Structure 1
Amino acid sequence: MVVVAAVSAALGVVTPAAALPAGHLPHRQAVPGDGPDTPQGAEAPLHGPDSGSARPGGVLTPRTTRNAIIKRAKSWVTAKVPYSMGRYWTDGYRQDCSGYVSMAWGLNSNQWTGSLAKYGVKIKKSQLQPGDMLLFHNTANPQNGSHVVIFGGWTDSAHTHYKVYEQTPPHTRSQTTPYPYWSNAGKYVPYRYKGLATGSAGAEASGGKTSPEFPGADSFGLGAVNAYVTELGRMLMARGAAPYYPKGPGPAWSEADRRATEAFQRAQGWDDTEADGLPGPRTWDLLTSGRGRDIAPDATEPASHGVSGYPGKGYFRPGQSNDYVTRLGVQLTRKGFGRFYGDGPGPRWGEADRQAVTAFQRDQGWRGGAADGSVGPETWRRLFL
């Protein structure tokens, strides 16, 4: 081992195994049906496509965009790059999980799970956007479970599943994955690349315009402030939603954005479940591509139905989590219907909310379908009288 290491050093070649301390050959624990364990190599320079010569490292964190990160991640998925901890793909990156993320982020070197964190900043789950990474590095025993993936966007409104881009045997893949991962669920940490070209709100700095790629459900809804919201409003106005924006669209999510989105969704013939006023991949795709039906001039009726503060039914459905649900629960508790909340009202719509609303409706003398636990404008009006 000493002789091999000495020869390698003399030749200027750093092998993945020699670059790590003894016993530090990290790998990810496999999950059922997921194939064998996936060990990874160590920090190493980029390698030429046809030789083992390294290229200069250059800037520590080269500038890039979310769109560029996802485009690079998809390139390996398309090519079905075989997994290997010791081989390098034609772009110079090692064919393991950490080499893959190094490639997607556009780093000038191959990193491993023990070093990738220094290229990013920790973020919260609520801040995740396509191009960020989820990292698990087992510092106590790097051989046990370490893995890293690229976050591709939420696939459900409850943020329980997301689209993953990862390098794992037998080759690079992308699929819907439970958050944060199949195994070691409590140990993955979200990171955002330090070299990301961003504006003040965290969206891509590309002349004020966003990528056609769906930025993820977390970019929209209560509390969201970013360039994607502005771009959404602009696209909706071009499709007939101008009456909803008397002052024009802006970066802060508003009731105007929700109502305009719902109107566009209903123009496509979608039912209440699909027309929830929150843009998903289907809505975004129709808007960015110019496809689908425009909003009819007579379809711009406010979703509030003239009831002050009422946001529309879309905010009170299974899987929805927002401040309106909390406000509803607090008001129901004040009205004497708090017995349904074991731990008090919260932002996520649940069975307790439905039962409390049903009890309130029955108290109004409503029966049958009129007392179904659904929060319509009249229920809201009476509740906040």
Structure 2
Amino acid sequence: MTVPVFEEYEPAADCGCPGCAQRRRTAAALPVRHGGHPAAHGARRALVLVTAAGVVLSCGVGEAAATAAGRDARAGAEVDPQPVTPQGTVGPLDGGGASGPPPAPGTAQRTTTRTEIITRAKKWVTAKVPYDTTAYWSDGYRQDCSGFVSMAWNLGTNEWTGSLASFGTKIARADLEPGDILLFHNPADPAVGSHVTVFGGWTDLTHSHYLAYEQTRPNTRSATTPMAYWSNSSQYVAYRYKGIVSGASDSGSVTEFPGTGKFGPGADNAHVTRLGQLLIAQGGKRFYKEGAGPRWSDADKRATQAFQQAQGWKGAEADGIPGPHTWRLLVGGTGRKIPAAGAGGSPSGTAAYPGKSFFAPGQSNGHVQKLGAQLVKKGYGTHYAKGPGPRWTEADRRNVEGFQRAQGWRGSAADGYPGPETWRRLFA
């Protein structure tokens, strides 16, 4: 077996090759303890593993090579922007919200509710906070992905992807609820792929996509994202903040679903009032003549059904009685709002989503023709040779795919077959 040779390697300052250029960029941005370059951070030099036979013996290097090969294979393909690294380090707040040093180990964590976490996350989305690993927003938190989560969780310090896990409890992805996070920290090289997002709720019944609140270039955003992320998906771990409370501090809101027995004919309790308030906030005001109240009424049922249908649900999933999924979307404020009366996709509208079964090879119906006409109207009819018709064809699929990709969707989210969200946006 060939014995690997370790040699010191410092990229030449004037070398223009891609390897040296990349090493200089990475090293200049990282602190020494994360592998920073000695010219920027001190006297330490990077060690490079070299083998006389040219055989890679390091698992880490092997994985890096595989990753590089994967990137080459995807060259030219459209992908979602990769998370920006490196991340900032642990530190006190800065800017307008400056505070003292980080709390000592064992110090009691601050408490918060799920609704408060999502509300704070939405503030940065609304403000379009620019991404910057060295700048601090007016609330004192650093403007990178870990600073964003530190802010949303109200930690009082600026953490990084290597320390956030200590503030949470690891959970299964199936147990994710709004306010939890999905974290990928790459200990071998924190500057490669490390990222974290705030989970905002599932956007489909199969739990293949979720609403992600995240800090990335060019600014904070909320977007439907494949589980768990566009890249390094299998390595993201779900965490729940240890300081989360039921919601007593959230103006009387209740996060946990109280059970279907609290709703329906004859029900008279505070949960019905809360349901009505949440539905009104999601666009259901027109169903209530006198506002939300504790006694279950037809207005509650019709508003709940309208909200469920706005998510693209049908049949028993849109029966007007709230279940756990309906409740989570309402409480977290992450579901699609109830459309205005007569708007596309509303229960009484002419363009309500008919279901995926109508759009498949061999299908011929009026929904296919209506879809094609709307695609042409929106400027996505380039693949039609003679115009849209009632029979589903490859031209329909390719036109739908073009529309989906224009929304920024990739992979299975842009397969050319219209789902509830594609239909809603197309007819909006």
Kindly provide the amino acid, as one letter, of the partner of residue 280 in structure 1.
T
1:368 corresponds to which residue?
A: none
The answer to whether the aligner puts 1:148 opposite 2:161 as a matched pair is no
C-alpha offsets along residues 289-340 of structure 1, whole Å, 9 cap, x if unaligned? 99999xxxxxxxxxxxxxxxxxxxxxxx999xxxxxxxxxxxxxxxxxxxxx
The answer to whether the aligner puts 1:191 opposite 2:234 as a matched pair is no
2:63 corresponds to which residue?
A: none
Residue number among 161, 165, 188 corresponding to 2:213 in the alignment: 165
Distance of aligned partners of 1:229 and 1:20 in 2 relative to their CA distance in 1, 3 Å threshold: farther
Quote how far apart the aligned CAs of 1:242 are: 2.9
1:48 corresponds to which residue?
A: 95
SS state at 1:117 partner:
helix
Aligned length: 241
1:82 corresponds to which residue?
A: 130
Quote how far apart the aligned CAs of 1:146 are: 0.6
Distance of aligned partners of 1:90 and 1:100 in 2 relative to their CA distance in 1, 3 Å threshold: same
Kindly provide the amino acid, as one letter, of the partner of residue 137 in structure 1.
H
Kindly provide the amino acid, as one letter, of the partner of residue 265 in structure 2.
A
Residue number among 35, 45, 60 corresponding to 1:22 in the alignment: 35
Residue number among 51, 56, 69 corresponding to 2:117 in the alignment: 69
Quote how far apart the aligned CAs of 1:88 are: 0.8
Distance of aligned partners of 1:272 and 1:262 in 2 relative to their CA distance in 1, 3 Å threshold: farther
Kindly provide the amino acid, as one letter, of the partner of residue 32 in structure 1.
V
Kindly provide the amino acid, as one letter, of the partner of residue 242 in structure 1.
P
- 1:1-385 aligned at under 5 Å gives the runs 17-18=30-31, 20-23=33-36, 32-34=79-81, 37-49=84-96, 54-58=99-103, 61-198=109-246, 204-206=247-249, 209-210=252-253, 226=256, 228-230=257-259, 234=262, 236=263, 241-243=264-266, 265=304, 272-273=314-315, 275=318, 278=323, 280=326, 284=330
Quote how far apart the aligned CAs of 1:35 are: 6.2
Kindly provide the amino acid, as one letter, of the partner of residue 61 in structure 1.
Q
2:11 corresponds to which residue?
A: none
Distance of aligned partners of 1:280 and 1:109 in 2 relative to their CA distance in 1, 3 Å threshold: same
Q: How many Å separate the matches in 1 of 2:269 and 2:158? A: 49
2:351 corresponds to which residue?
A: none
Distance of aligned partners of 1:80 and 1:275 in 2 relative to their CA distance in 1, 3 Å threshold: same
Q: How many Å separate the matches in 2 of 1:96 and 1:272? A: 40
Contact preservation (8 Å) 2:91, 2:102:
no
Kindly provide the amino acid, as one letter, of the partner of residue 67 in structure 1.
T
2:404 corresponds to which residue?
A: none
Contact preservation (8 Å) 1:42, 1:112:
yes
Kindly provide the amino acid, as one letter, of the partner of residue 40 in structure 1.
Q
Quote how far apart the aligned CAs of 1:82 are: 0.5
Unaligned 5+ runs, structure 1: 1-14, 199-203, 216-225, 251-260, 294-316, 320-385
Quote how far apart the aligned CAs of 1:40 are: 1.4
Quote how far apart the aligned CAs of 1:102 are: 0.5
Q: Percent identity?
A: 45
C-alpha offsets along residues 111-155 of structure 1, whole Å, 9 cap, x if unaligned? 111110000000111211111010001122222211001001111
Quote how far apart the aligned CAs of 1:269 are: 11
SS state at 1:78 partner:
helix
C-alpha offsets along residues 38-92 of structure 1, whole Å, 9 cap, x if unaligned? 3211111111329xx6534455521111111111111111111110011111111
- Root mean square deviation, CA, Å: 4.5
